[in-house]
Amino acid sequence: MTDLRIERVDATESLLEDWRHVHNVIVPPAAMDLDEVRERAGRNHLEVAYLDNGPDGVLVGCTTVRPPTDDTATATVIARVLPGHRRQGLGEQLYVRALAQARELGARRIETVVLAANTEGLRFAERHGFVEFDRYTLPGESALWIDLRLA
């Protein structure tokens, strides 16, 4: 297993920027600026992951855990790995960690959302037991999104 260094995204500019970078590479239709990432970090659990192969490490991915907020205790878990670092087990490590965080926050149901154009991300979710329950485009946009629930 590859050693990852995982950092919680706080107000540190470099962590905010690293999370933003991964997010924007993987989901360009929903690209965010730093203020949007700051706002998201205030309501969700965001982390960035680095290959720990030196003093600074190499940015490889990020996660988002949206805590449960309603009576269904549904949390959303999203793991993203930059294309050059896929198929090395990194997504698995990030997903397992984020899933544990969601459950620690009281989640009884786990969902994820994937940009339909991200076929690798969709296959990853399905291999991990997620089943599609909704497809939609946001008002004024053309990108298709897929919501999946852990079976």
Q: Delineate the domains of the chain, giving CATH numbers in brackets.
A: 4-110 (3.40.630.30)
Each residue's pLDDT tens digit, 1-13? 568 999 999 888 9
From residue 53, alpha-carbon distances to 2, 80, 92 in Å are 10, 20, 19
**pLDDT for residue 130 is more than 90:** yes
Is pTM, for the whole model, over 0.75? yes
User: Hey, is 86 helix, strand or coil?
Assistant: coil
Instruction: Give me 20's structure tokens.
Output: 């933003």
3-state SS class at 97: helix
pLDDT per position as a tens digit, 88-98: 899 999 999 99
Instruction: State phi, psi for 59 to the nearest 5 degrees.
Output: -60, 125
